Amino acid sequence: MKEKIRNLIKYLFDWQEDVQDRLFLLLTSIALCGIVLAFIGSIIVGESLVSIMSLVVGFFVFFPIAWLGYRNRRIRDTSTIVAFLLVLVFFPIIFFTSGGIRGGAPLWFVFAILYIGMILRGRVRIFFSLAQVLVIVFCYYIQYTHPECITPHDEYEFFTDSLCALLIVGLILTLLMSFQTYVYRRENEILKSQKEEIEKLNKAQNRFFSSMSHEIRTPINTIIGLNEMILREKPTGEIAEDSLNIQAASNMLLHLVNDILDMSRLQAGQVQLSQTPYNTKDMLLDVISMLQVAADNKGLEFNVNIDPELPAELSGDEVRLKQILINILNNAIKYTEEGFVKFSVQCENPAGDEVSVVYSVSDSGIGIKRENIDDLFSAFRRMDEEKNKGIEGTGLGLSIVKQFVDLMGGKITVNSVYTKGSTFIIEIPQKVINREGVGQIDSGSKREINKIAEYHQSFEAPRARVLVVDDTATNLMVVRKLLKETKVTVDTASGGERALEMTLENSYHVIFMDHLMPGMDGIECMHRIQNQTGGLSKTALFVALTANTGNENRFLYEKEGFDGYLTKPIKGNAIEEELHGLLPKELITMDKMKGVEYAESGLWISGSRKKIPVMITTSSTADIPDELIKKYNMAVIPITIETEDGCFRDSIDIDSAGVLSYMIEEGRKAQMNPLNQSEYETFFAEQLQHANNIIHISVSSKVHANSYMASVDAAKSFENVRVVDTGQISTGQGILALAAAGMAEDGMDPDTIINKLEILKKEVTTSFIVDNMDYLAGTKKVSPGIAKFTRAFMIRSVLCFRNGRIFLSKVYFGSKKRAWHKYISYALRNGKTIDRSLLFITHVGLSRKELLEIKEAVGQKVAFDKIYFQKASPAIATTTGPGTFGLLFWRLDDFHSSPISAP
């Protein structure tokens, strides 16, 4: 007996069993216990013999039914039988023999409703729910119209019976809900565990596919690269034919690898489309040339019909578009044994900025059964398996096509007649870059594309020197051979450590860097070269030379500071073009014929993109004159000003005069909005295209609506971006940024610059004289009461900002001009300690006449070599209001010498 009870308990808590079945057994077990308790209570209360006997009969009926159902695993049938007995027999008898509504029967009706709702399913649940309602209505109606049919309860029996029923039903409900809560919690834990396991499997699958892609691309790179070298030698006859077949087969193999990798990415939701301009004719000829070989090998007629008015240049994801067309055409060729394959491209709405390009592929193949069309785009599914068992394929092509077309906002339709052939029509909207038509692409063009093109190096640069870093010797050999005719000096390194040794000895203009290498990966190696003590290639430009494809990898390399990105297998024209764009112009000697051609077309124009070792960046709140920003190659990210009419970029879309006019004349509100992490990440990634390291000079982290933490969080995504909290606002922030820029220009490394800034920032004090405090009250920096008081008594306040805190330094009574002169005298005290080379006067809403008066007053105290009048940014103007200005300069006793010099 104990073993059977243990088995029952084990069944109840077995999550693999049906939840409702387990609830039935639990509910039945609890209900049987409840009947026993009700039996004892009925004897104590002195219920009628009929009522007591109904409980006894109920127990001995329900127990064997429930036990047999459990033992024979017929729980659903058993639950229906139990519901029938409860609703139509047992509870009505209890009602009529135990006082009706003046007893425990109403509570047992509640139990019956709960049982039906939780245990039964589908139509059976609906039937018994209606039956229960009718039974309850019938019982209440009989007691109301024929009370003599009810065995009455006296007051004691009524209270005792209803109390017992309440306790029993309440206990049943408590246990039931506790069990159900446990079951759902357990189910959620299991689902969460399964989800984590699935995520782990997906990650493992993605790692496998990525690794497989990387490993397969390495030998393909060797095959395609060396085959290109053979084609450059102008082979003839059988060798030429074999080389062209190798080229086509290699490209098809590469296409299959891309399909497998993209399927993995699509399942993980990691595919991002890129929108870049591409040459329409070149793209189509690449596709046609690849599939022409496959069609010729099967003896199929391959007809091409391209609309001459198709724009010559469109914007879209060229790589994915090629995959779509190759998959559809390859599918048509595979499933066509004889006859033809037709490929046509038409352009709809050619006059608009966006056109709908319609690609149509028809064949005379075996066709598709109508019932199979719905499953046509499912992964790993093949139609008519028995008939097509001799046809090879991964089963991924059409699934990838469908998902890519959907991502591009297009649509695909299929028309097919079984045994007669199929037609696939794909419509994809694309933006027009060059409206000129592609012209005729006919059979003559098609024959030309499979001829061996005569190779001419696009440039020569005998004085240029590049380094190629890769752990695979054949990859190094391929790059060296592909660049041979350019006369560039190509050195190779078999890993990161060897590359570091070579950059200590040689200065390289460009370094091609593999990513995944044992020991030290390419990203780490690049950063170490850029910051290498005594290194000769700190300013070299870096190109990621990798088998890792996809936009997410491209973004990774951009974020890390690479200047270019080439995927394996490497093509000669691609690496030449990339190198040409990175080398300084003075090193390049153009091939005469190609030089003239490119110069006329305007497609081969490049300049040196030499990176600076350290770039200083800051926000527009720093109030730095444009002249100094340009001098020190600084970059400024604009803060956003939010108004009632929208958001505007500080100093770009709106200036301080516009903000003040908006606030004063129109009486409307404007406020500074902090930048978010994503905006900083984009900004840093853009600047890393021009610098190896970035030091961002941030506004104080203690001011209202600052962006310090957002910039810090964004910097965590980059290994070479640092953020400095200046503890300052406005020109105080700006003068520290200029100090950092001066140090960077002197060749200091990032660590040294940051250490010096940490010392400098403790000594910098920014002060402003404010005409009134209404604007400060609006930004909650002071209370409205204080603002009202200072305005009433003509008080001009001097506010100082030091170590991240704002405080009231001085107050002046009387006229504005009198207060200004007193502030200037106070700010320029101890004139012997002032560095007279440079003074910043940052102001809000002052006229030219007022500025000249301020300059004259300053000149009476200290003669500065250079004075910059700088309008405060709108972000500062919205905080301090018109009539505000501040003086900022260096004190020689603090720094001994000025950290910056005037231009």
Number of Cα atoms under 13 Å in the Cβ half of residue 744: 26
- Alpha carbon 763 to its chain's center: 41
280-284, 297-301, 358-362, 726-730: lowest mean pLDDT where? 726-730
CA 126/CA 626 separation, integer angstroms: 78
* Residue 306, phi then psi, degrees to nearest 5: -110, 130
CA 528/CA 172 separation, integer angstroms: 70
Pairing of strands 541-546, 510-513: parallel
Helices (H) and strands (E) in the chain, counts: 31, 27
130-134, 250-254, 487-491, 834-838: lowest mean pLDDT where? 250-254
Q: Could you give the angle at the alpha carbon of 198 between the alpha carbons of 195 and 203, nearest 5°?
A: 125
Structure tokens at 749: 């490394």
To the nearest 5 percent, what fractions of the chain are helix, strand and coil? 55, 20, 30
Distances from the Cα of 544 to the Cαs of 122, 458, 480, 521, 745, in angstroms?
61, 21, 16, 11, 28
* Residue 272, phi then psi, degrees to nearest 5: -120, 130
Has residue 609 got a pLDDT over 60?
A: no
Q: What is the pLDDT of residue 672?
A: 63
CA 328/CA 397 separation, integer angstroms: 8
Q: What does the pLDDT average to over 503-513?
A: 94
CA 741/CA 747 separation, integer angstroms: 10
Task: Give bridge partners of residue 252 from the DSSP assignment.
Answer: none
- Based on its alpha-carbon atoms, the radius of gyration of the chain, rounded to whole angstroms, reads 41
CA 245/CA 223 separation, integer angstroms: 12
Cβ atoms of 503 and 490 closer than 8 Å:
no
Q: What does the pLDDT average to over 4-29?
A: 63
Q: What is the pLDDT of residue 445?
A: 52
Structure tokens at 591: 């091939």
Omega before residue 569 within 30° of 0, cis = yes
What does the CA dihedral 891, 894, 900, 903 come to, rounded to 10 degrees?
20
Q: What is the 3-state secondary structure (H, E, C) of 628-666?
A: HHHHCCCEEECCEEEECCEEEEECCCECHHHHHHHHHCC
Average pLDDT, the chain: 78
Smallest CA-to-CA distance from 801 within 898, 886, 727 is with 727
DSSP string, 313-338: EEEE-HHHHHHHHHHHHHHHHHT-SS
Distances from the Cα of 721 to the Cαs of 228, 694, 710, 718, in angstroms?
41, 5, 13, 6
Q: What is the pLDDT of residue 551?
A: 64
Residue 813 pLDDT level (bands cut at 50, 70, 90): confident
Residue 9 pLDDT level (bands cut at 50, 70, 90): low
Distances from the Cα of 777 to the Cαs of 521, 661, 750, 782, 789, in angstroms?
54, 19, 39, 5, 12
Q: What does the pLDDT average to over 782-805?
A: 75
Q: What does the pLDDT average to over 125-152?
A: 90
Distances from the Cα of 738 to the Cαs of 343, 622, 628, 629, in angstroms?
61, 10, 8, 8
Task: Give bridge partners of residue 671 from the DSSP assignment.
Answer: 642
Structure tokens at 711: 């910039």
Residue-wise burial string across 861-885, b where 16 or more C-beta atoms lie within 10 A, e elsewhere: bbebeebbbbbbbbbbbbbbbbbbb
> Over the stretch 454-473, which tens digit does the pLDDT of each residue have?
667 888 889 999 999 998 88
> Over the stretch 77-92, which tens digit does the pLDDT of each residue have?
778 887 888 888 888 8
Spatial CB neighbours of 200, under 8 Å, sequence gap ≥ 6: none
Q: What is the pLDDT of residue 393?
A: 45
Local structure of residue 872 (DSSP, 8 states): P
Residues above pLDDT 90, as percent of the chain: 12
Q: What is the pLDDT of residue 342?
A: 92
> Over the stretch 610-661, which tens digit does the pLDDT of each residue have?
678 899 999 887 778 888 888 888 999 887 766 655 555 554 544 545 554 5
Q: What does the pLDDT average to over 759-764?
A: 77
Local structure of residue 88 (DSSP, 8 states): I
Amino acid at 462: P
Residue-wise burial string across 545-560, b where 16 or more C-beta atoms lie within 10 A, e elsewhere: bbbbbbbebbebbbbb
Cβ atoms of 749 and 531 closer than 8 Å:
yes
Q: What does the pLDDT average to over 427-446?
A: 77
H or E stretch including 782?
none
Structure tokens at 695: 């030091």
Pairing of strands 795-802, 805-813: antiparallel
What does the CA dihedral 237, 243, 249, 251 come to, rounded to 10 degrees?
-130
24 or 827: whose pLDDT is higher?
827
Has residue 832 got a pLDDT over 70?
A: yes
Has residue 495 got a pLDDT over 50?
A: yes
CA 466/CA 510 separation, integer angstroms: 5
Distances from the Cα of 547 to the Cαs of 212, 283, 345, 551, in angstroms?
10, 22, 32, 13
Q: What is the pLDDT of residue 512?
A: 95
Has residue 601 got a pLDDT over 50?
A: no
The angle that helices 237-268 and 155-232 make with each other, rounded to 10 degrees, is 160
Q: What is the pLDDT of residue 724?
A: 92
Structure tokens at 758: 């940490």
Structure tokens at 821: 């002169």
Residue 521 class from Cβ within 10 Å (0-12 exposed, 13-18 middle, 19+ buried)?
A: middle
Local structure of residue 834 (DSSP, 8 states): B
CA 822/CA 816 separation, integer angstroms: 10
CA 318/CA 281 separation, integer angstroms: 12
612-619: strand order across its sheet:
635-637, 612-619, 691-698, 721-725
Distances from the Cα of 348 to the Cαs of 102, 357, 717, in angstroms?
81, 6, 44
Is 0.75 surpassed by the pTM of this model? no
Q: What is the pLDDT of residue 153?
A: 79
H or E stretch including 754?
helix 750-760
Residue-wise burial string across 28-52, b where 16 or more C-beta atoms lie within 10 A, e elsewhere: bbbbeebbebbbebbeebebbeebb
Return the residue matching tokens 């500062």: 876
Amino acid at 849: K
Number of Cα atoms under 13 Å in the Cβ half of residue 221: 29
